[in-house]
Amino acid sequence: MAEETVLEPTKAAATPTVASTDTLKFGFLGIGWIGRNRMEAIANSGVGEVTAVADPAPQNVEEAQKTAPNTKVCQTINELLEEDIEGVVIATPSAFHAEQSIIALESGKAVFCQKPLGRYAEETKRVVEAARQANTLLGVDLSYRSTVAMRKVYELVKSGELGNIYGVELVFHNAYGPDKAWFYDPKLSGGGCVIDLGVHLVDLALWTLDFPEVENVTSSLFSKGKRVTPADGKVEDYATASIHLATGPHVQLSCSWNLPAGQEAIISATFYGTNGGASFKNVNGSFYDFVAERFWGTRTETLVSPPDAWGGRAAVEWAERVANGEKFSEEAEEFVKVAEVLDRIYGR
């Protein structure tokens, strides 16, 4: 889920990034549990040094300093960006992602942001354009792409072994719900379980299928068992969506918060083709353990099993790309395409 820390965005003066021949230096904006996990992953990888952090919660700073005891503690995004850093990892509440990302990009820093990059497609487009104008690398923590299990399913689809893909089933049911009030305010969060959980699976489907044009989207949104629309001013806790792709496949999405699922979570992305199927799915209700399975009729073969320490892998891979000198990539347009599908699910 998105992070809980709040740091109001303010406009920062442009500060050119200073190239370094040493280990790159990174700043971390928001170091609650997600931000801290990504910070620890980058620090432990050796690709980057934790130079500065900013978070309004003293307990978060205290925990971060256990990993990086000599890091500079900043009070604002401006102060953070004044440090000698090459990139910023952002893990603040969703309402601040777009503006904070733009400020960091315009200051010349590479950015790795928690999902969603923007609450709406329009916000997401502005961030991507800022990255393009600054010619800086923009990453979003769509972390399931980085699991070994999902990458195996991706490779299977790409290889053509499954034949012509015609159906994709996406499921993310969470027996719990967010514990921060801002998640339930659509103006702050951009939506409920779809933008919080469904975003990951919509991304996986489009990414695996080469981001085809989306022909049609229909959806049903519920809050506490009753149908809702964005005009009702409520976020959904259960949703289904039917997504028809111009290339032929049909994608079905179901996601939820606080569902009586009989286990902590049900997470899967299953691809059906004319030569069989393949699925990325969680094990025994786990939020962390995933398998990749290959299907032939009534037969199932397990291709990938846990363990897999994937949690901070996407952040480390972004940091490695920054270290390799990568600048803006047109792959960032994929973030816009996912956001546009979410807008259509929400009927906006």
User: How confident is the model over 260-269, as pLDDT tens digits?
Assistant: 999 999 999 9
Question: Has residue 20 got a pLDDT over 70?
Answer: no
Confidence tier at 22 by pLDDT (50, 70, 90): low
Of the candidates 5, 138, 18, the one whose C-alpha atom is nearest the C-alpha of residue 74 is 5
Of the candidates 243, 221, 218, 238, the one whose C-alpha atom is nearest the C-alpha of residue 167 is 243
Of the candidates 247, 246, 265, 248, the one whose C-alpha atom is nearest the C-alpha of residue 256 is 265
* The pLDDT value given to residue 303: 98
* The pLDDT value given to residue 23: 81
Question: Has residue 12 got a pLDDT over 60?
Answer: no
Confidence tier at 25 by pLDDT (50, 70, 90): very high
Rounded CA separation 205/338 (Å): 10
Q: Would you say 121 and 94 are in contact if contact means Cβ atoms under 8 Å apart?
A: no
Token pair 């931000």 is found at 35
Question: Has residue 207 got a pLDDT over 90?
Answer: yes
Report whether the peptide linkage leading into residue 249 is cis, meaning its omega lies within 30 degrees of zero: no
**CB burial string 282-303: b at 16+ within 10 A, e below:** beeeeeebbbbbbbeeeeeeeb
Q: Would you say 242 and 219 are in contact if contact means Cβ atoms under 8 Å apart?
A: yes
| C-alpha torsion sign, points 190, 194, 196, 200 | negative
* The pLDDT value given to residue 230: 83
Mean per-residue pLDDT, 36-58: 95
Confidence tier at 345 by pLDDT (50, 70, 90): very high
Residue-wise pLDDT for 283-328, tens only, equals 999 999 999 999 999 999 999 999 999 999 999 999 999 999 999 9
Token pair 């001013």 is found at 233
Mean per-residue pLDDT, 176-194: 96
Rounded CA separation 103/130 (Å): 9
Identify the residue with better confidence: 160 or 230. Answer: 160
Residue-wise pLDDT for 116-163, tens only, equals 999 999 999 999 999 999 999 999 999 999 999 999 999 999 999 999
Amino acid at 348: R
